[in-house]
Structure 1
Amino acid sequence: MGEVGVAQVDGTVSQQQRREQIRQDVLAHGHVRIEQLVEEHGVSGMTIHRDLDLLERQGWLRKIRGGATSTPGSLLARSVGARRSDAADAKARIARHALRHITSGQVVAIDDSTSGLAVAELLAPAAPLTVVTNFLPVINLLSGQDGLHVIGLGGDYHPGFDAFLGLHAADMADTLRSDVLLLSTTAVVDGHCLHRSQETVQVKRALMRTAATRVLLADHSKFERRAVHELAPLTDFDLVIVDADTPPAVVEGLRGRGVAVEIAEA
């Protein structure tokens, strides 16, 4: 029985690695061919079809005859390391500002964003805190730190986001109440938060439903992008924190829509 269990785990890891490599190939080259993937990964054509079907459902690619191509939205999603480097200084300023809205003893929810991760890196002095998150880098960062109790949301692990997503994660989020939710998004367009992944939206919405205070972390780059899936209107947030590089016209437009905005200056 034990040997079967190990084989199943090894098979799952191999499957995840193969799908992640296919996803990276599509992002890098814009397209892949099934016969090429069969040769590279040493699996059957039916297995590759199943991989592409899953990646298509997740929004990473679009299947075509004989292969798959990238989607416009997929180009917005990259590795955690790459996302952390985008507007890194702005995210750091926003994170320091966000700490003003966190007090010891609270339950703080953090989504699978690198903006939220920037806040997590600063949480230790605010302990004791309970942190609820579906983002593996936050779980790894905070686990074992004195005064920080971490609750990880289980679900389907998505290597591209390094997070647990899907129905199971959303269901668990619905059972937990937080005092403050720190959340970000792919893009902000016409007063609405948009994201490239429906699975991510599902969990973010669940976290929003159960938070007493909802704080959106939105650096200036979010207002220059586009995405497919609507998360929520900005008016669903109690506060939106932007950085000082956000154009004044954008800030005025948000306030004109009735959105509470604070600017992280330092």
Structure 2
Amino acid sequence: MAEDATAPAASDAEVARDRREKIRRRVADEGFVHVKSLAETYDVSVMTIHRDLDALQSEGWLRKIRGGATAQPSAIYHGDVRHRLQAMAEAKRQLAHATVDLVSPGASVMIDESTTGLAVAELLPARGPLTVITNFLAAVNLLADKPGIDLIALGGAYYPAYDAFLGLRTSEAIRSLHADVLFMSTTAITNGHCYHQSQETVAVKRALMDSADRRVLLVDHSKFAKNGLHQLAPLTAFDLVVVDSETPQDELAALRARSVPLHIAGSGTPPPW
């Protein structure tokens, strides 16, 4: 059948949107792409690619660097959720298994938008019945059909790169609720404080902390080598900080010197509670 010559051509905006989606996927798949390579692939100017990358960076999908774009996180770029799901996966499972026994049937549990928190969420159905409150769409999808889970999904402005709801409406929704325990993570730890790349993330995490009786921070050893732009809270603001077994001894000594309530996952001893 001949192509319908009367079919409307795609608008410039539609073409740009399609090209940016392809660029986003390529950066996520390859980790880094060159501006010149993208310009050649899509037969557009280098300046057009720079505008595409600016738009994708503003949405949190990637980070522009000299000569191209990367999916690797930085002090001001969180990294898209697919990249974070793949990073430190075994350490996250270790942290989750070390702390899930802190949840008793009938409890109300808050989970933040971290992929470490998602590892905890995967174990929660076996602890039910529970009420689970989260702004992380991946956790909502994971728990939506699980028996014994009374799920409360927090709305607000949706941030695709985080696969989460953030912003003022999310914070207000959190403050209308109260939970027994919060499981959360952080992007970076510097001088005994948690840091994140976005103010929106910090605002929501502070609201979560304010709305839970007990706060559990789960951090794999890579967090001690990263940087963040916005300070969230000191580690002493948590009732328990759980680190994985690969955390360097000097970092453990520094935490103990700051009187951080510490537990090492995989140590063979139950976490203090």
Q: TM-score, normalised to structure 1's length? A: 0.78
| AA of the residue aligned to 1:90 | A
Runs of 4+ in 1 over 6 A off after TM superposition: 13-19, 48-51, 68-71
Q: Which residue of 2 aligns with 1:185?
A: 186
Q: Does the Cα contact within 8 Å between 2:135 and 2:154 map onto a contact in 1?
A: yes
User: Secondary structure at 2:120's aligned position in 1?
Assistant: helix
2:104 alignment partner, SS class: coil
Aligned to 2:237: 236
Shift of 1:165: 1.1
SS at match of 1:73: coil
Residue 260 of structure 1 is matched in structure 2 by 261
Q: Please give the alpha-carbon distance, in whole angstroms, between the structure 2 residues aligned to 1:15 and 1:126.
A: 47
Specify the alignment match of 1:222 in structure 2: 223
Matches for 1:25-64 after TM superposition, within 5 Å: 52=54, 55-56=57-58
1:88-137 deviation per Cα after TM superposition (whole angstroms, max 9, x unaligned): 11111110111121111111000011111111111111101000001111
TM-score (norm 2): 0.76
Matched residue, 1:116? 117
Structure 1 unaligned blocks of 5 or more: 1-12
Q: Equivalents in 2 of 1:226, 1:206: separation in Å?
A: 22
CA offsets 1:60-86 (integer angstroms, 9 cap, x no match):
6579xxxx9779435551333x21222
Larger radius of gyration: 2
Q: CA deviation at 1:207?
A: 0.4
Instruction: Tell whether the 8 Å contact from 2:35 to 2:69 is kept in structure 1 after alignment.
Output: yes
Structure 1 residues 144 and 40 mapped into 2: Cα distance closer, same or farther (>3 Å)?
A: farther
- Indicate yes or no: 2:79 matched with 1:77: yes
Structure 2 alignment gaps of length 5 or more: 1-13, 269-273
User: Closer, same or farther in 2 for the Cα pair 1:139/1:59, shift >3 Å?
Assistant: closer
Pair 1:61–1:245, CA change in 2 (3 A) = closer
Q: Is the partner of 2:263 in helix, strand or coil?
A: strand
| 1:9 match | none
One-letter amino acid of the structure 1 residue matched with residue 122 of structure 2: E
CA distance in structure 2 between the partners assigned to 1:52 and 1:247 by the alignment:
37
**Aligned with 1:112: secondary structure?**
coil
How far is 1:25 from its partner?
6.7
Instruction: Give the helix-richer structure, 1 or 2.
Output: 1
Instruction: Indicate the residue corresponding to 2:168 in structure 1.
Output: 167
1:183 CA displacement: 0.3
Report the 3-state secondary structure (helix = DSSP H, G, I; strand = E; otherwise coil) of the residue aligned with 2:254.
helix
**Residue 191 (structure 2) pairs with residue 207 (structure 1):** no
| 1:209 Cα deviation after fit | 0.9
Aligned Cα root-mean-square deviation (Å): 3.4
Written as runs of structure 1 = structure 2, the 5 A alignment for 1:122-201 is 122-201=123-202
Cα pair distance change 1:49/1:242, threshold 3 Å: same
- Please tell me whether the aligned partners of residues 20 and 160 of structure 1 are also in contact (alpha carbons under 8 angstroms): no
d(CA) in 2 for partners of 1:201, 1:17: 32
Distance 1:15 1:184, change over 3 A: farther
Task: Report if the CA contact (8 A) 1:180-1:214 is conserved.
Answer: yes
